[in-house]
Amino acid sequence: MENDCILIVDDEERMRKLIKDFLKQKNYNTMEAADGEEAVAVFNKENPDLVVLDVMMPKMDGYGVCREIRRTSDVPIIILTA
């Protein structure tokens, strides 16, 4: 799975950085989005191999993002929640 690309979606920059740093150590490429609308846009443009998705976000919550992604893709999604 080396060089797979993972989209990290969380409105907290600190959490995105923590996840990104861990994944970089494991040789994954990452991209980020800070809210649900940005997540959908990045997903549609970049077609990542996996999405790590926070539930509580502004503009569109994680469930809405998941529904949008599922309209066109069966990419694996890991949902994070407090």
This prediction's pTM: 0.93
Distance CA 61, CA 28 (A): 25
Dihedral, CA of residue 57, residue 61, residue 66 and residue 68, to nearest 10: -120
pLDDT tens sequence across 26-55: 999 999 999 999 999 999 999 999 999 999
pLDDT tens sequence across 55-67: 999 899 999 999 9
pLDDT value for 78 = 97
pLDDT value for 2 = 52
pLDDT tens sequence across 5-32: 999 999 999 999 999 999 999 999 999 9
